[in-house]
Amino acid sequence: MAIAKAERLMNLALCLLGTRRPLSKRELRESIEAYLEAGSDDSFNRMFERDKDDLRELGLVIATVENLDGEVGYLARRDSNSLPPITLDAEEAAALGLAAKVWQQARLAGAASGALQKLRAAGLPEDVDPYEAHGALEPRIPVHEAAFEPLMLACRDRRPVVFEYRKATAARPEPRHVEPWALECWRGHWYLAGWDRDRGAERVFRLSRITGKVRSRGAAFTAEIPDVVTVRETVASWAGETADRSALIRLRADAGYPLRARATAVRELGDGWDELEIPYGHGLDAWLVEFGPDVVVLGPAELKADVVDRLRAVAKG
């Protein structure tokens, strides 16, 4: 049984690596003898899905592509499955082992465990245990958005995606066609940076505002992918981290501690309110809205108008 499965996996891998175009399930079934011998379509489907997951677990990058007719095909691009020899010293291997510890979600736990096994083979010393607690702080990256995993795979495989996105100022979501570049976590929120095909410009999307399923499209990227450092700077700017002005707000006492942490000046007004001066950059209006009635914007006028517009959109939607 083990030999038969190994042969089946090898045949499937050779088919996926040897094709220049995506192969459908039907074509793969007709090409592999073990699949032809499957008793029914359900039996074949279960066998194929298990084999595909096993190959991915072994490290084969399998791209899933949907053609114009909606038919799904599979292929393993050689450029995505070819790596130069990897040589790690003890410090490098230990750092990568610690990075694998960061992912705590169940969907990524298996991949992190498999990565650690490969690190052992690549030089991670046996006496280095990345899962051992080395201090009071433990690195974790929370991921709660359902859109994270399909977008992560789309960024890895360089596949355009389509999803419904609700802007903070809009009452209803609208479709967006995006070439995904990278995912970045900024102050507890995940953002996708990419090329918006409909607007013909670079855009950043907050994952918590993506509604419904993320659907991939089988087409090549049309825009050049910038350097990863540039992407991070863009996310930081879009998330409101790049500030070139100051804003004046009233904040209810004993509330809005993240705002207080960023304040450059604080003055007690009495009657349970404080006056804060905070850095003002792109995205500050969306952040202030999250504090609801605990915040009142005093200036500048454009920031006050933006906050009012967002609150009205929330009230309508």
Q: In what order do the strands lie in the sheet with 63-66?
A: 23-24, 72-75, 63-66
pLDDT, one tens digit per residue, over 162-175 is: 999 987 666 788 99
Residue 6 CA to residue 3 CA, distance in Å, equals 5
Q: Residue 133 has what pLDDT?
A: 46
**Three-state SS at 20:** coil
**Three-state SS at 70:** coil
Q: Residue 101 has what pLDDT?
A: 61
pTM of the model: 0.47
Under 8 Å CB-to-CB from 252, ≥6 apart: which residues?
A: 272, 273, 274, 293, 294, 295
Name the more confident of 77 and 86: 77
Kind of pairing between the strands at 201-206 and 189-196: antiparallel
Residue 264 CA to residue 249 CA, distance in Å, equals 12
pLDDT beyond 90 at 111: no
pLDDT beyond 80 at 110: no
Total length of the chain? 317
What percentage of the chain exceeds 70 in pLDDT?
A: 74
pLDDT beyond 70 at 249: yes
* Residue 138 pLDDT level (bands cut at 50, 70, 90): low
Name the more confident of 304 and 67: 304
Q: Residue 122 has what pLDDT?
A: 54
* Residue 78 pLDDT level (bands cut at 50, 70, 90): confident
* Residue 79 pLDDT level (bands cut at 50, 70, 90): confident
Residue 119 CA to residue 128 CA, distance in Å, equals 11
Q: What DSSP character marks residue 21?
A: S
**Mean pLDDT taken over the chain:** 79
Residue 65 CA to residue 242 CA, distance in Å, equals 38
pLDDT, one tens digit per residue, over 178-191 is: 999 988 877 667 88
pLDDT beyond 60 at 140: no
Q: Residue 1 has what pLDDT?
A: 39
DSSP 273-312: EEEEEEEEETTHHHHHHTTGGGEEEEE-HHHHHHHHHHHH
Query: What's the rounded mean pLDDT across residues 55-73?
Result: 85
Residue 296 CA to residue 306 CA, distance in Å, equals 12
Q: Residue 311 has what pLDDT?
A: 82
pLDDT beyond 60 at 136: no
pLDDT, one tens digit per residue, over 191-242 is: 898 999 999 998 889 888 898 899 988 788 888 887 765 666 777 666 655 6
Q: Look at 123-137, 267-281, 293-307 and tell me which has the smallest mean pLDDT.
A: 123-137
pLDDT beyond 70 at 114: no
What percentage of the chain exceeds 90 in pLDDT?
A: 19
